Amino acid sequence: MAYYLTYRPKRIKDLDLAQVRESLTEILGAKEIPHAFLFSGPKGTGKTSSARILAKAVNCP
């Protein structure tokens, strides 16, 4: 298995960037979750991992 798949963060607390952790925690704690998200930034900053964690938290397959 590829290195990046083996060590990909699986939970919000596993994310490396504190600002992203805080933002996702705040969003998930709100009454209503926004309809869309835009993850942007350079390669390797956790965009896909953050999106996967968020999707899992709101029960998307």
Tokens of 53: 């964690």
Q: What is the pLDDT of residues 9-22, one digit of tens each?
A: 999 999 999 999 99
| Dist CA 61 CA 50 (whole Å) | 15
Q: What is the pTM of this model?
A: 0.85
The residue whose two tokens read 């709101």 is 58
**pLDDT tens string 4-53:** 889 999 999 999 999 999 999 999 999 999 999 999 999 989 999 999 99
Domain ranges of the chain: 3-57
